[in-house]
Structure 1
Amino acid sequence: MSKKVFIRPGTPDDDNRDYLPERIKGSDIVVNENGNNSQPYPERLREYRAVLDEDGRIVNDPNAGIAGVWYEYVPESFDPAKKTPLVVSLHGGLMTGWGQCIYSSWSILAEREGFLCVFPNGHTNRFWQMQMFPTRDGTKPPPLAGLEIPDPAPTIEENTDCNFLLRLIRHMEEKYPVDRGRIYMQGMSNGSGMTQQFSRRYGYLLAGAACSAGSCRLRPYLDKDTRALLNQGGPLAVWESHPENNGYGNADREAEARTVRESRYYWMRVNGCGPMPKIRIEGEANMAFYMDGKAPYVFNDIKLRDHGQALDEAFFYWDYLFAGTRRAEDGTLLQEKTPLSTEGDAFAAAFVPGLKTVWWKNEVTQLSAAPVRWQKLKYHGLNGGELVRGEYTCVPVRFLAEMAGGTLCVSEDTLSAVVTLPDGCALQFARGSIGCMIDGRMRAMYCEALHREGELLISVEWFARAVMGWTATECGGVAYVTDHFAELSAFMADLIRDLLTDRAFPENFIDEALQDRATAL
């Protein structure tokens, strides 16, 4: 980290409802929508329009190359005497290169790190040319905002946008002292799809790729005859971010969960990753690090986020992955220590009611009894009816004592128990009682203590919050407990459930993808 950076204030345009208001360009106007938050237009962002030949040189003859528009950001901290990393960042559909710059934080991060950024435009109607349509039957989708989506090229080698990106990278290499072992690509939505597409074919040119709000179904990337994964780019450090409320291109949450899962399996297989990640939840960022393969893969689910990219994502990409990833001259992908640890949460447990397994210290461990999802009811005065006032995950007191580093003393009939914490505080629980005796003082829990399989169970949410001061968060029937601020999100809950049911990386995932025809719209 070479330079201190700061966020510039902007003029909010809260009444705006356009996807990319054109008046933002060159101004300090900012917009804030749950999928896209912007920064003021950077003063150092420069627009270029030119025709590039195969070697990336600017030529005057439009028939001798590909015409394109791109935006370069050269930070004040750039040192022309040093080899410098390059980030190629791709906009979403209906956007532009300058829009991608202000809807991301790459230019801010570039000032801190001194690297170069380039933000190109897609060539057709503000779209990138994809090799398949995101529809269930492969038919062309209707226009978006009145603009036609470009048809696929006959082959990826004939794809106009892919070819222009190759030329633009060469152009930047000739213009600046680019470190060819540290070229990274990132994209959002349609730009994420292009990043995926480029990486599968030309990934050997990159040190890393990051994809936001653009998971890819597995079916288009399978050989029709052999059912092998289609990939010519080889193992690549890949980060995939999934907005929890993304929705785009999928029939429903279940269909999107399958798409997210298939995209994860694809890169796990290509990169040779093992099935067990290290999980870290940092606020709303739900990350799973697969670092044990030929190349790392990082899964990220962003709580409550809608379709788009989060403003801080570039910092996550860099500090957790890109800063430690580079290619040697022989093309070998090298992974070094990153500024932020990828070891996962040192203290965290995840429970699923009905499963006798728990995610504890980044491993699957057995419980003495399966957790129970229990409802706290009101029924007096309702003429036989009832109201649910609370719903909690009850787990064995035995395991909670272990989490707290305490000791457990159970009565002979197993109907009551005392947990003694490391500081000497004693907590007594009894079957059927909502009360907990804490050093001689009774306190009511969220719900009564249960007795299952010869074990006492109490609400893990109450124990975590009221007794230990931990964080307890729940989503999709999964409860996650840790010692810091965390918000469990839907796709991470799906991943954890897969870990606890021995479906972390099923051998038959390709067969399942081929059988499932409801993955996307």
Structure 2
Amino acid sequence: MTEMPPGLAELVRLRRRWTRLMTGHPAPVAPIPSLAEDAGFLADAAANPGQLRLKACIPENLPSRAPLVVALHGCTQDAAGFDQACGWSRLAARRGFALLLPEQRRENNGNTCFNWFEPGDTTRGQGEVASIAAMVDRLLRQHGLDAGRVFVAGLSAGGAMTASLLACYPERFAAGAILAGLPHAAARNVGQALEAMFHPAPRPAEERSAAAREASDHRGPWPRLSIWQGEADETVRPANAEELLKQWLPLHGLDPARPSRDEAGHREWNGVVECITLPGGGHDVPPGAPEAILDFWGITEEKVFLVGADGDVREEMQ
């Protein structure tokens, strides 16, 4: 996996809120939830037009109205492998959120890529985006989760599908994260997809943002967004990060030339949109990225056990 440069590593370290003790007593560790499939969802053709698998991790003792995080794997991956590589289920147990991991089937795509380049799968109410939206609704209903705190992150094809979900269902998501992904509607067939990945054409911001606006009747507010891109990525070229900024900054009324922060490969616009570029970074999820993304989203509640002068152990929120 890509090594994080020192400046960004320090940023991630500062933004994390790790469970810790003021004494040598070990902190309790929440059990890691298992990944389970809802087989009934696959058979529900009406709810699942994209014919995806619904896999999820629901931690024990999940608090009422907990957040929901949707994590979308890349090509040649599956839900379990993506979870293991990124540590999503461990983070779900530690930070107290439900985890949804939609999984592509080889019957839909031989390389298990989400079909982010197919209009039939990236149009509101149709195909794969409709299936994932239905999965979200299903978990919200079954587990009493907070509909105002639903988040989505994806890598590569999963990142491009994240962009389409945020465009097609912006009212469903509070924020998203796109890692080595592409803008919504960057391609409409396989040939265009390859061209967009390897030779992204610079398009006017008005065109990019219009594609998102036209994907639904929603007129704002729009989800916050974290963009991650390796500068040495040979699969999805780094220029795609700039095209994503062209799509999402205008939706928030933000000036690309005036970030509120611009240092060490990290640009940020008022805590609403951020873009992190990694020198030497390849086509993968950098170490520490999931934790940093959760912090950007505001999913930072972690239990901290403090030992008082009287020897009593008290549980507080860090």
TM-score (norm 2): 0.68
Of structures 1 and 2, the one with the larger relative CO (CA 8 A, separation 6+) is: 2
Counterpart in the other structure of 1:463? none
Question: What are the residue-to-residue correspondences of 1:76-475 with 2, within 5 Å?
Answer: 76=60, 78-79=62-63, 82-123=64-105, 124-125=108-109, 126-130=112-116, 132=117, 151-153=118-120, 156-157=123-124, 159-216=126-183, 227=207, 229-230=210-211, 231=213, 232=216, 233=218, 234=220, 235-250=222-237, 256-257=238-239, 259-274=240-255, 275-279=257-261, 286-291=265-270, 296-323=272-299
Larger strand fraction of residues? 1
Question: What are the residue-to-residue correspondences of 1:473-492 with 2, within 5 Å?
Answer: none
- Unaligned 5+ segments in structure 2 are 1-15, 21-30, 189-201, 301-316
Counterpart in the other structure of 2:303? none
Q: Does 1:47 align with 2:11?
A: no
Counterpart in the other structure of 2:309? none
CA distance in 1, matches of 2:18, 2:141: 26
CA distance in 1, matches of 2:129, 2:77: 17
Letter in 1 for 2:281: R
2:281 aligned counterpart, secondary structure: strand
CA deviations 1:154-196 (Å, max 9, x no partner) are 8713542111101100110111120111000000000000000
1:314, distance to aligned residue in structure 2 (A): 1.3
Letter in 1 for 2:268: F
CA contact (8 A) 1:91 1:97 kept: yes
CA distance in 2, matches of 1:171, 1:186: 19
Counterpart in the other structure of 2:19? 4
CA distance in 2, matches of 1:196, 1:270: 13
Q: Which residue of the other structure, out of 30, 53, 71, is the alignment partner of 2:55?
A: 71
RMSD: 3.4
1:93 aligned counterpart, secondary structure: coil
Cα pair distance change 1:308/1:111, threshold 3 Å: same
CA contact (8 A) 2:154 2:160 kept: yes
- Unaligned 5+ segments in structure 1 are 6-41, 53-57, 133-150, 251-255, 325-338, 340-521
Cα pair distance change 1:127/1:155, threshold 3 Å: closer
Letter in 2 for 1:4: T
Letter in 2 for 1:266: Q
Cα pair distance change 1:185/1:219, threshold 3 Å: closer
CA deviations 1:312-332 (Å, max 9, x no partner) are 1111112233438xxxxxxxx
1:109, distance to aligned residue in structure 2 (A): 2.2
CA deviations 1:34-59 (Å, max 9, x no partner) are xxxxxxxx95222214243xxxxx8x
1:77, distance to aligned residue in structure 2 (A): 5.6
Letter in 2 for 1:241: W
Letter in 2 for 1:84: A
CA distance in 2, matches of 1:199, 1:83: 22
Cα pair distance change 1:159/1:94, threshold 3 Å: farther
Letter in 1 for 2:37: Y
Question: How many percent of aligned residue pairs carry the same amino acid?
Answer: 19
Cα pair distance change 1:171/1:158, threshold 3 Å: closer
CA deviations 1:432-461 (Å, max 9, x no partner) are xxxxxxxxxxxxxxxxxxxxxxxxxxxxxx
CA distance in 1, matches of 2:34, 2:70: 14
Letter in 2 for 1:262: E
CA distance in 1, matches of 2:33, 2:174: 26
Cα pair distance change 1:94/1:85, threshold 3 Å: same
1:71, distance to aligned residue in structure 2 (A): 2.5
1:2, distance to aligned residue in structure 2 (A): 8.9
CA contact (8 A) 2:68 2:97 kept: yes
CA contact (8 A) 1:105 1:315 kept: no
TM-score (norm 1): 0.43
CA deviations 1:375-427 (Å, max 9, x no partner) are xxxxxxxxxxxxxxxxxxxxxxxxxxxxxxxxxxxxxxxxxxxxxxxxxxxxx
Cα pair distance change 1:218/1:166, threshold 3 Å: closer
Letter in 2 for 1:243: G
CA distance in 2, matches of 1:209, 1:155: 16
